[in-house]
Amino acid sequence: MGFMIAVIAIVGVAKTYTMVVLIAPIVILAIPIFDTLFAIIRRIIKNKSFKGVFMADAGHIHNRLLRNRTYCKTNSKSIIYYNYTLPDF
Torsion angle of alpha carbons 48, 50, 54, 59, nearest 10°? 40
Angle at 2 between CA 34 and CA 12, to 5 degrees: 95
Q: Look at 10 and 25; give whichever has higher pLDDT.
A: 25
32 confidence band (pLDDT: 50, 70, 90)? confident
29 DSSP assignment: T
pLDDT value of position 50:
75
Distance CA 20, CA 26 (A): 10
